[in-house]
Amino acid sequence: MDILKKVKEYREEEEKLKWEGTFAEYLEIVKKRPEVAQTAHSRVYNMIKSAGIEEKNGQKIYKFFSNEIFGLESTIERLVEEYFHPAAKRLDVRKRILLLMGPVSGGKSTIVTLLKRGLEKYTRTDEGAVYAIKGCPMHEDPLHLIPHHLREDFYKEYGIRIEGSLSPLNQLRLEQEYGGRIEDVMVERIFFSEDKRVGIGTFTPSDPKSQDIADLTGSIDFSTIAEYGSESDPRAYRFDGELNKANRGIMEFQEMLKLDEKFLWHLLSLSQEGNFKAGRFALISADELIIAHTNETEYRSFIANKKNEALHSRIIVMPIPYNLKVSEEERIYEKMIKESDMAHVHIAPHALRAAAIFSVLTRLEVPKKQGIDIVKKMRLYDGETVEGFNSVDVEELKKEYPNEGMKGIDPRYVINRISSAIIRKEVPSINALDVLRSLKDGLDQHPSITPEDKEKYMNYIAIARREYDEIAKNEVQKAFVYSYEESAKTLLNNYLDNVEAYCNKNKIKDPLTGEEMPPDEKLMRSIEEQIGISENAKKAFREEILIRLSAYARKGKKFDYNSHERLREAIQKKLFADLKDVVKITTSTKTPDEAQLKKINEVIARLIDEYGYNSTSANELLRYVGSLLNR
């Protein structure tokens, strides 16, 4: 669709959504749809909820965040359930500043940006509609027009609590423009926009000596003092500070703890009482969610400073650690690459996984639990099955280090090193080895890596390389199996026939001779040994398979290659083991004969068509695996 046509449609849609009427007409809307009068905290919570909530393994997944924030499901659940939800219910939590604290490039700014962009869209929907007194620079809540002595009656009739007082400017306008008749005051629908400074404010600290408090609270317009005669006349004041403009929505404080103390004190009354001091006026009411972010070092020094004690109790600190799941880390890199100018570069399959393994290892603490090393821990965190461990063990591992994930390698470093690998190689294709090499070379240039960390990280690069070696070998072996699924199906059916005969103490008929023979123990053991099933455990494993087979039959479902995860793994490994010598000879021959060349070309074609390689990366993979198998 033509982009200008889309712009026009968006403009027309916004025109349709606009509404203007008297306060009396606005009250009719409130009666029908009380949600238009909700608080800023309630609006943010309902916006998050409206995107949908899923439950996965007892964990709530908030879809509002799921396309941008990866691997932080527990953190997001805690953020919503411990802050946004109770704050929406007007509990005391809403009188606290929300401080997101965590390492660089961990997702703090992304969370805030999502909330801001989300609110902009949400206020364009029926359920997120916001109305304000027309012409008010602070987009004030029209319900502030209801006098305090009538608010209890209003609550009985409408079921809505009104908080806050009418601002000095609107108090003056009510008397002078409307003769005190609140029913005639004009009300309009507003749409939040950070660019237009409606409902969203952003404050960034600069030099404390030059930064003016007016940036937050507005300032006197000296050009109008002659006209209005006094600095205390609200018409001679610009209500254009970030706190004024963020009213009804979100106020973001970037790197809040870098702020000068005089700025922080303004947040005390705003968070606790819902008002702030500006100019020579009474306290000005503001309904806004204050969200700030900082790193751990600044937070520790802030806590250590006794001067800040009054603010300590007004802040709810929400730690935002790094992601600790390899598969989710891959998604972070994919997202960052799509947003960069590297999207045209072919990144071979598993290159990002190798980088993700390294990154996650740098963030994990070495487990105290017996029988488990850091690699097994990494796999368990990523939801993989590890022999002898279950979900209870995962929860125990998480409790060992409650602050795990607050240090380690950040995603930006990895993306920078991938960029460096692309530039150095000067070809539009890079593989896992290029990425790992670049990560290793960049450790010397990383300003915050100590010599001890460097030694540890070099070890993690070696582990990531070993993990990739296994992936590469399996990938090539899979590609070598001609009609892989067919071979797997044949082997599976053969195994199942023998297991059924073994469990039922029957014999099996030879398909060629028709002769009855005992179950083929050698075949069954050759498959079971691939996944470490011991002689003592074989009976239980076979009975488990038979039970699963019967359950599928009862439901009228077909038991296939994917019906039992561990059996699938065993079949895979058995096929690979049988093929290993063929792969070894074919990939490592420097002068392949015609048959070998045909096989290599078939494998390369399969790697390209089915596994996502291009011709460069497929050839590189074959050469590498050939060298691995010859070691």
Q: Which pLDDT tens digit goes with each residue over 315-366?
A: 899 999 999 999 999 999 999 888 877 777 899 999 999 999 999 999 999 9
pLDDT value, residue 59 = 86
| Spatial distance between the Cα atoms of 570 and 492, rounded to a whole number of angstroms | 10
* 500 touches 548 (CB < 8 A): no
Mean pLDDT for the chain overall: 87
Residue bearing tokens 């620079």: 137
User: Which two three-digit tokens encode residue 290?
Assistant: 């204050």
Average pLDDT over residues 393-422: 89
Contacts of 64 (CB under 8 A, 6+ apart): 47, 48, 51, 52, 114, 118
The pLDDT of 12-22, averaged and rounded, is 89
pLDDT category at 483 given cuts 50, 70, 90 is low
Cα distance between residue 541 and residue 499, in whole Å: 10
Model confidence band, residue 542 (pLDDT cutoffs 50, 70, 90): very high
Q: Is the pLDDT of residue 243 over 80?
A: yes
Q: Above 90 in pLDDT, residue 257?
A: no
Per-residue model confidence (pLDDT) at position 366:
92
What 8-state DSSP symbol labels residue 234?
G
Residue type, 562: N
- Say if residue 210's pLDDT is above 70: no
DSSP assignment of 89-125 equals: TT-GGGGSEEEEE--TTSSHHHHHHHHHHHHHHHTTS
Residues 6 or more apart in contact with residue 136 via CB below 8 angstroms = 167, 169, 170
pLDDT at residue number 369: 84
Residues 408 and 362 sit within 8 Å (Cβ to Cβ): yes
Q: Give the mean model confidence (pLDDT) for residues 79-102.
A: 91
Least confident of 150-159, 228-237, 568-577: 228-237
Q: What is the pLDDT of residue 207?
A: 66
DSSP reduced 3-state for 22? strand
Q: What is the mean pLDDT of residues 436-460?
A: 88
Whether 259 has a pLDDT exceeding 90, the answer reads: no
pLDDT score recorded for residue 331: 93
pLDDT of residue 405: 92
Lowest mean pLDDT among 69-78, 185-194, 335-344: 335-344
Classify strands 200-203 and 250-254 as parallel, antiparallel or unpaired: parallel
Classify 233 as helix, strand or coil.
coil
589 has a pLDDT exceeding 80 = no
- Position 238 scores a pLDDT of 83
Q: What is the pLDDT of residue 370?
A: 84
Do 317 and 101 contact (CB within 8 A), yes or no?
Answer: yes
Q: How far apart are CA 431 and CA 348, in angstroms?
A: 5
HSE value, Cβ hemisphere, 13 Å, CA-based, for 71: 24
Burial profile 524-535: b = 16 or more Cβ within 10 angstroms, e = fewer: bebbbbbbebee
How large is the average pLDDT for residues 522-551? 90
- 565 CB burial (10 A radius; 0-12, 13-18, 19+): exposed
C-alpha to C-alpha distance for 443 and 367, rounded to whole angstroms: 25
Q: Report the alpha-carbon distance of residue 245 to residue 280 in Å, rounded.
A: 19
Question: Greatest CA span in the chain, whole angstroms?
Answer: 114
